[in-house]
Structure formats: structure tokens, C-alpha cells
Chains A and B, each alone.
Chain A
Amino acid sequence: MTEQTTYLELFTIFSKVGLFTLGGGYAMVPLMEKEVVTDKQWLNHEEFLDILAVAQATPGLFALNMASHIGNKLKGVRGGIVASMGVAVPSIVIILLIAMFFHAFKGNIYIEKIFRGVRPAVVALIAAPCFSMAKSARINRRNLWIPIVACLLIAAFGVSPIWIILAAGVGGFIYGRITSHHNEEHPIR
């Protein structure tokens, strides 16, 4: 599958994601998952979650970070550039047109109506994949506290997601060091 991917395909898929992502950030997640994981199968669900975590913890634009990695995985550095441009080009063109003909767009009643319908749907699109992601993340009774605490800290206490990711990373690293030491002593498991 990876061998057959062309630059054009890479660009098209990511520009589709860029074109239909409204409001940026997490609104892009369900779209990208559908295109890249479900349809194209360039990544599996675990890889997608992993790169989501890394993209979130790395400076820069979330969607672009995802695109850079996925493009790089499929076609190397040039693939990364093509995928990133795929996300960026539709926005650049649209904003340029708006900047040039601003007054026709600002306060347009039909556009406002359309977006009043779209906004709640975007929230639903972000909420819906949480359940399937819970399965990919192997959430069970023992680690259920992790997503709950993470969600509470962010939504109720305003903690930045960056700190959550970093804390989870450090926690996982320590856990890994302890258990790998354990594995060396008891190589049966």
C-alpha cells in the first residue's frame, strides 16, 4: 500500500482534510482519522494515537505536525513537505481571497447561517471518536483513571494539554524503566 502512494494522492488527501477543518485544532482529528486510518490505512489506530500525542507536545500547528509525520512515514522528507502543503494551501488561498474581497464576506448572512448549523456538528465529530479511540488506547479498569484525570484537569481546572502529555510521557518512561529492569531479572515474561 505504501509503495503505491503517489505525491498527488498525499496532497489530495491532506488538502481535503485542510479544506474541511473548521476552527482548526481538534476539529481536524476525526477527518484525518477517517481519511488516513480507516480509508487509506496509512497508519493503524495505535500509530494514529501515538502521533496525535507527539504532534500535540511538539511546537507548531497541530494539523501540520501530523501531516509532516505521516508524509515522512510514507514518502520521506519530500512526502512530509507535500502533505504539509496539502493542509496549508487551501487555507492560504481562501484567506487570500477573503483579504482581497473582505467586505463581501464579512457579516454575510448566509455564511453565518451555514456556520450556525455546522458548529454543533463539529463538536459532535470531535466527541464521537472518543469511544473507538478508547479501544485503540487499550483503556481498561486499571488505567481508566488516566483519561478521566486528564479530562478533568483540562476541562475543569484549565491545565494546558501540553503538561498532561509530558506528565504521561514521563510516567510511561519511568514505568518502562522499572518494568524493563524487572524483565531482565525475570526473563520469562
Chain B
Amino acid sequence: MIFLKLFIVFSKIGIFNFGGGYAMLSLIQNEVVEKNHWLTNAEFTDIVAISQTTPGPIGINCATYTGYTSVINEGYPVWAAILGAVLASLSILWLPFILMLTISKFLLKHHQSYIVQSIFRVMRPAIVGLIAAAALLLMSKENFSSWDESPFAFIVSVLLFCFAFVGTRLYKIHPILMIILCGIAGLLIY
């Protein structure tokens, strides 16, 4: 029964995913391609590419797409596939949701306690380092192109980066507006 299997597999992916997004991809690949043969490797790569160019968490994107495609491949009609997509997406969410809610309740109750505050006093600076690292790691060829590959694309990317950095930092331009502006710029320039 494909629906039950989707539920079990994506519940498992949800709860065993630490670190979100990209860390989750190998887990999904293992379950969806290697073990259950719901998708081929090429199809999986397509989904990753699509996930990177569509909004929302990558885990949800993968779940929705896999849910839809696997049910279609089993020979069910479109409405059943839509159901499969929604089911897979919700399956990935529900266990972490319960866990996070429990932690959230504890936090709201004990947030001001001395020991919890000491923990956060050390965690907060670490998180800043974490985000800086994420930004550094994203300064890659995939996002900026490179000088060897295309000097033009590389310069445009660096300029857009500087524009977005200064715009949000100094002129407090809303991040959503910034994304739209740079999207339009990309459309016009390339």
C-alpha cells in the first residue's frame, strides 16, 4: 500500500533529519531512490534542482514531489497523487512538530531560569558564527559563477551581492523587495 509506505518513510525522514535542508538530501535519496525505487537517480537530481529554484524548505519540496510522482507511477489517477503529495508533506512534519512543541512549552516556562539563560549566553554567540559560516559556504561557484567560467556573470553576481548587502544593511530595504529587485535585474541583465 503506497500511501502507508509514504507515511512511514517520510515520518522517518522527518525525525532523523538533523540540521535541515542539505543534510536531509542523502537520507531522502537513500529511502526514495535506493530502498523504495519510487524515483530514479536522475529524477531525484531534478527535484533537488527544482527545490533550489522554488520557495520553501527543501525537505517539503522533496516530499511533495515524491508523493505525487510515486503515486502516479503506481497507476493511480491525479487526485490520488495530489493526496499522496499532501500526505508525504505532512508525514515529514508531524513528529518534529510534536517534539518542538514539547521543547517550546518547556522553554516558555523556564526561559528566565539561571541555568537556561547561561546555556543561551554561550549559544547565542555560537549561532552568529554558524550563520556567518553558512554565508561563507554559500559563496560558491553555483551561486556566483566564477571568473574562469564567465567573468561577466561573476562580476554581475558580486555587484548584486554588494547591492543586496548594502541595501538591507544600510538602507533597510525589505528582504522580499530585495529578492524581487535582484530577480528583475537577473532577467534584464542575462
Interface set of A (CB-CB < 8 Å, partner B): 16, 18-26, 28-31, 34, 46-47, 49-65, 68-69, 72-73, 77, 80-81, 84, 87-88, 90-92, 94-96, 98-100, 105-106, 110-131, 133-134, 136-139, 143-144, 146-152, 154-155, 160-162, 164-165, 167-169, 171-173, 175-177, 179-180, 183
Main secondary structure on chain A at its contact with chain B? Answer: helix
User: Can you list 24 pairs linking A and B with CB atoms under 8 Å apart?
Assistant: A19-B55, A21-B56, A22-B52, A49-B120, A50-B124, A59-B95, A60-B95, A61-B17, A61-B92, A65-B96, A65-B100, A92-B86, A99-B85, A100-B78, A110-B187, A111-B53, A113-B187, A117-B182, A128-B164, A138-B121, A152-B133, A162-B19, A168-B122, A171-B122
Contact of A94 among B16, B55, B128 (CB under 8 A): B55
> For residue B65, which residues in chain A have a CB less than 8 angstroms away from its CB?
95, 98-99
Partner of A18, one of B17, B55, B153, B162: B55
Among B19, B53, B54, B103, contact of A160 (Cβ-Cβ < 8 Å): B19
Given A172-B118, A173-B119, are A121 and B101 neighbors across the interface (CB < 8 Å)?
no
Which residues of A lie under 8 Å from residue B81 when comparing CB positions? 99
Q: Contact between B123 and A168 (Cβ–Cβ < 8 Å)?
A: yes
Q: Would you give the shortest CB distance from A11 to chain B, in whole angstroms?
A: 15
Bound together, the chains give a CA A21 to CA B95 distance in angstroms of 23
- The residues of B with any CB-CB pair to A shorter than 8 Å are 14-24, 46, 50-61, 64-65, 68-69, 78, 81-82, 85-86, 89, 92-93, 95-97, 99-101, 103-105, 107-108, 111, 114-115, 117-139, 142-145, 153, 156-158, 160-165, 168-169, 174-176, 178-179, 181-187, 189-190
Q: Given A147-B126, A151-B130, is A92 in contact with B89 using a C-beta cutoff of 8 Å?
A: yes
Q: How far is the CA of A53 from the CA of B133 in the complex (A)?
A: 14
Chain B interface mostly = helix
Assess whether B97 is in contact with A20, with CB atoms less than 8 Å apart. Answer: no
Please state if A95 and B50 are interface contacts (CB–CB under 8 Å).
yes
User: Is A20 within 8 A of B122, CB to CB?
Assistant: no
Contact B168 A125 (CB under 8 A): yes
Contact of A20 among B55, B105, B185 (CB under 8 A): B55
**Given A88-B93, A124-B165, A151-B133, A162 contacting B18 (CB threshold 8 A):** yes
- For the complex formed, measure the closest distance between the CB of B9 and the CB atoms of chain A, giving whole angstroms: 15
